[in-house]
């Protein structure tokens, strides 16, 4: 039997949608028995949510004071210890997963499959390479434990209701490192949807010209209930915060609609949005590469078009 351990991503209150997409990927494995593990100081509320996810067979809670903050160095030894009972360990290909999952693989002494995007069998998968320009098929050794990150943009979220998995409290014996400790966290507060999971995203490029002009995008996003992203060029220029970056070195997203404003469409950016259902491009350069992938394109001055769009919605 294929026994999959999914590393649950959460904020202590709610289960991240990325975890539900990992469940969908795991359900593609033949006869998979899926377990979600949650690490935290008190995962009571999140465990109830995880147990309700359709397709989940069991939820494991590992509650201890050291797990109050999601530190990869602290989580990894505990996940590695739990992995003894499983054939597969999956984590989301988010910032959280990319930090944690390779450490787990290293502790287990096995290679990792990154950005798993399609399941062909229990040990055969497809994944992107060369910034998404090519897709390769990889086959893992069935005699070894398989550790992988799941490209969440490639899977739909599993239904959040309909399941009734049992919840089990676990005590894990694992030596935790002392060289890493939590100091604090700073992030911009916003009422907008999370960029990683938003169904609508408005994104801006260097053509906006300044951080002040990015307010045009924020106003439009607020009108339509969208998250706000940015190209690397805009982030490097200081127009937008680093956490807003979309692309190969930023966030890989799959919204229902992606509105690219003043973005030329470098291949690194297109890698981050290729799974978007509908792409709308606004750019004054009719030859911009973004128009090659856009479902709808509008050539013109964004400083005239965006206010008009805002007026119409």
Query: In the structure, what pLDDT confidence band is assigned to residue 180 with cuts at 50, 70 and 90?
Result: confident
CA atoms within 13 A on the CB side of 272: 26
In a shared domain, residues 69 and 147 = yes
Report the distance separating Cα 176 and Cα 184, nearest Å. 19
pLDDT digits (tens, 9 = 90+) for 32-60: 999 999 999 999 999 999 999 999 999 99
Is residue 183 included in any domain, yes or no? Answer: no
Helix, coil or strand: residue 82 = helix
Q: What is the pLDDT of residue 288?
A: 95
Non-local (6+) Cβ contacts of 264 within 8 A are 205, 207, 231, 283, 285, 288, 289, 290
Report the side by side order of strands in the sheet with 227-230: 227-230, 200-204, 257-261, 278-283, 296-299
Is residue 65 included in any domain, yes or no? Answer: yes
For the segment 106-111, the average pLDDT, to the nearest whole number, is 96
Domain containing 139 equals 2-169
Report the side by side order of strands in the sheet with 88-92: 112-116, 146-150, 88-92, 2-7, 32-40, 58-63, 167-169
Is residue 125 included in any domain, yes or no? Answer: yes
- Report the candidate in 237, 277, 232 with the shortest Cα–Cα distance to residue 259: 277
In a shared domain, residues 146 and 225 = no
Q: How many domains does the chain have?
A: 2
For the segment 213-222, the average pLDDT, to the nearest whole number, is 93
In a shared domain, residues 96 and 244 = no
pLDDT digits (tens, 9 = 90+) for 114-146: 999 999 999 999 999 887 788 999 999 999 999
In a shared domain, residues 107 and 24 = yes
Structural contact between residues 73 and 52, judged by C-beta atoms closer than 8 angstroms: no
Domain of 263: which CATH number? Answer: 3.40.50.1220
Question: Which tokens is 168 given?
Answer: 């089990």
Please state, rounded to an integer, the average pLDDT across all residues of the chain: 93
Domain of 98: which CATH number? Answer: 3.40.50.620
Query: In the structure, what pLDDT confidence band is assigned to residue 190 with cuts at 50, 70 and 90?
Result: low
pLDDT digits (tens, 9 = 90+) for 269-301: 998 998 899 999 999 999 999 999 999 999 999
In a shared domain, residues 223 and 156 = no
Query: In the structure, what pLDDT confidence band is assigned to residue 183 with cuts at 50, 70 and 90?
Result: confident
- Report the candidate in 253, 257, 244 with the shortest Cα–Cα distance to residue 205: 244
């Amino acid at each position: 039997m294929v026994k999959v351990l999914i590393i649950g991503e959460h904020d202590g209150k709610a289960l991240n949608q990325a975890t539900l997409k990992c469940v969908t990927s795991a359900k593609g494995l033949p006869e998979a028995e899926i377990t979600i593990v949650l690490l935290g100081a008190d995962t009571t509320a999140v465990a109830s949510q995880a147990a309700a996810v359709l397709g989940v067979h069991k939820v494991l809670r590992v509650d201890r004071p050291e797990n109050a903050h999601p530190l990869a160095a602290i989580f990894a030894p505990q996940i590695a210890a739990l992995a003894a009972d499983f054939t597969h360990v999956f984590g989301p290909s988010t910032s959280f997963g990319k930090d944690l999952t390779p450490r787990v693989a290293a502790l287990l002494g096995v290679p990792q499959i990154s950005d798993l995007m399609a399941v062909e069998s229990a040990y055969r998968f497809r994944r992107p390479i060369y910034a998404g320009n090519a897709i390769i098929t990889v086959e893992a050794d069935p005699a070894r434990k398989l550790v992988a990150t799941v490209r969440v943009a490639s899977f739909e979220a599993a239904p959040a209701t309909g399941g009734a998995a049992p919840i089990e409290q676990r005590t894990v014996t694992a030596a935790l490192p002392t060289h890493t400790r939590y100091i604090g966290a700073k992030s911009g507060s916003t009422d907008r949807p999370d960029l990683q999971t938003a169904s609508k995203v408005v994104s801006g490029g260097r053509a906006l010209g300044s951080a002040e002009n990015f307010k045009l995008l924020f106003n439009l996003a607020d009108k339509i209930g969208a998250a706000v992203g940015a190209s690397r060029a805009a982030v490097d220029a200081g127009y937008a915060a680093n956490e807003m970056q979309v692309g190969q070195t930023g966030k890989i997203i799959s919204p229902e609609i992606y509105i690219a404003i003043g973005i030329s469409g470098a291949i690194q950016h297109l890698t981050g949005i290729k799974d978007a259902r509908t792409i709308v491009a606004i750019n004054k350069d009719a030859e911009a590469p973004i128009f090659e992938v856009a479902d709808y394109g509008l050539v013109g001055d964004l400083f005239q078009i965006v206010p008009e769009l805002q007026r119409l919605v």
